[in-house]
Amino acid sequence: MTRREQVFLGIILVLVLAIAGLTLTGRETPGGEGGGGETAAVPAESVQYTCGMHPFIIQDEPGTCPICAMDLTPLKAGAGGGGKAVATGERKIKYWVAPMDPSYVRDAPGKSPMGMDLVPVYEDEAPGGSIIQIDPVTQQNMGVRTAETTRRDLARTVRTVGLVGYEEPKQYTVNTKIGGWIENLHINETGQFVKKGQPLLSIYSPELVSAQEEYLLALHNKAKLEKSPFPEIAEGAERLLASSQKRLEYWDISKKQIEQLRKTGEVKKTLTLYSPYDGIVSAKMANEGMRIQPGAELFRISDISNVWVFADIYEYELPWVKVGQDAWVELPYEGDPVRGKIDKIYPYLEAKTRTVKARIVLDNQQFELKPDMYVNVVIEAQTIENVLAVPAEAVIDSGDKETVFVALGEGKFEPRQVRTGLRGEKGYLQIKEGLLPGEWVVTSAQFMLDSESQLREAISRMTQPKGQGPAPSHEGHASTGEAEKMDDLFGEDASDQPKEDLSDLFE
């Protein structure tokens, strides 16, 4: 396209904008040629026409679009969005809203959370003049359905999976405080049940042999010196015997074994370690003939008469789950669900699963629940009573705000920002702010209404004057505003072309 053709198209666009400005401000009446007549104001009730493809084209009479040649369509009242509807008679206040938070709606005057006075919203208007109107036939074709905003009880059943684990306070470790060699291993299987006092292994340790000999020597020395005429010597022998016995006890030698050593007077090569707890052997690190060091872990014994079930709770389900609620654990095989209670909700999130663990304590006397078993968990969440709720499909969530469309009657709909809360299991969503009881909201085709609302808002921004400037010329010349628009389209020097170069284009 040549420079001359670009300038020609720019002049046409400027003339269209000038005609649109004349249409918004007034129209010329017959009374003189060349713009000499007077201008009469357009009546408020007159119908204006616009182009569906170019909404900034607005005329008072039907016709075709000067840009795309499409037929103009009637522009409904309020489509421009710039002014508020004028009501005849006394205007009735519908609700009160916070100036800085459109979702804060109250049915009486007062203060907003920021301390500002609430402003009234009348029945014939909406904040920003965004009420849209659709005729009944179009509503039926769109399939618009509504539901009433009511107070109801919200309930939810949380279904999730859980993992059976050990009861941590009843996990024990068996080790030795002396070094030596394992002569005999009495418990040689993982998963074997053991009782308290049952022998685990026999250890040969030179230190134990020396300790036994020292004990027998102290015992013989005490018996020999207890009748000494010097009390200090008898007391010293008594203290030496007590010290030797305490040394054996510190090495986990039972009192029964010490008593047997005292009666027989025989030093044993090996000493047996006994289980101090009931449970199963969940881990075995000892092998027969192995040399062990002091403090080495030999066995891990776990009591599974009670088990913990760790249920995964997702972040959006956390408000429904509380400590003390009933939970049913369903086994992976056939059997009745086991009932328990939530004992603890852990205060951190699992990094991999993005879930919070809820701990359920269960009785497991029959050992039906095996550690590391997967189970299904059903948690009966507490019912939230008497909250304002609407169907969840009525809320349009755009990420930064949540919007519903309130049906005002007579085909009028008002977009309203709301703040939501919990979601019930029957498809209802809690409304914390933005709606009043008894209002009707759109539950279907609201996305079409949202598109219409955004379109009219765009028209409002495009047709709203930005400031008082020079009146448009009636002789076909561009005003200062149009010249600036032409500069934006074709460069800074487009409006400075010599008039004589464009005279043939005007003709």
Quick: pLDDT tens for 209-240.
888 889 898 888 888 887 777 888 888 888 88
If one counts the domains in the chain, the total is 4
| Maximum mean pLDDT: which of 131-135, 310-314, 397-401, 426-430 | 310-314
pLDDT of residue 125: 59
Residue 439, domain CATH: 2.40.420.20
Instruction: Decide if 14 is inside a domain.
Output: yes
CA 177 to chain centre: 52
Expressed as residue numbers, the domain containing 457 is 93-152+385-461
Residue of 60, 44, 77 lying closest to 459 (CA atoms)? 77
Segments of 69-136 assigned E as strands: 73-75, 93-97, 105-106, 119-122, 132-133
User: CA 227, CA 224: separation in Å to the nearest integer?
Assistant: 7
Whether 398 maps to a domain, the answer reads yes
3-state secondary structure of 113: coil
Please name the residues in contact with 65: beta carbons below 8 A apart, sequence gap of 6 or more.
51, 53, 54, 57, 71, 72
Backbone φ and ψ for 177, nearest 5 degrees, come out as -100, 5
The pLDDT-based confidence of 356 (bands split at 50, 70, 90) is: very high
Structure tokens given for 230? 């010097």
**Within-domain flag for 474:** yes
Question: How far apart, in whole angstroms, are the C-alpha atoms of residue 1 and residue 260?
Answer: 115
Does residue 342 carry a pLDDT above 90? yes
Q: Could you tell me if 308 and 408 lie in one domain?
A: no
307 and 163 in a common domain? yes
Residues in CB range of 215: below 8 A, 6 or more apart: 241, 244, 245, 247, 248, 258, 261, 262
Stretch among 5-19, 29-43, 352-366, 381-395 having the lowest mean pLDDT: 29-43
According to the model, what pLDDT value does residue 497 have? 47
Segment (H or E) for 397: strand 396-397
CB contact burial 438-467 (16+ within 10 A = b; e otherwise): ebbbbbebbebbbebbeebeebbeebeeee
Judgement on whether residues 249 and 341 belong to the same structural domain of the protein: no
Please give the torsion angle defined by the CA atoms of residues 290, 294, 296 and 299, in that order, rounded to the nearest 10 degrees: 80
Q: Which residue has the higher pLDDT, 475 or 368?
A: 368
Q: Say whether both 201 and 241 belong to one domain.
A: yes
Q: Is the alpha carbon torsion for 471, 477, 482, 484 positive or negative?
A: negative
Query: Phi then psi for 415, rounded to 5 degrees?
Result: -70, 135
Q: Return the pLDDT at 74.
A: 79
Percent of the chain with pLDDT over 70: 73
In a domain, 86, yes or no: no
Q: Quote the pLDDT of residue 115.
A: 82
pLDDT score of 465: 53
For residues 414 and 488, state if they share a domain.
no
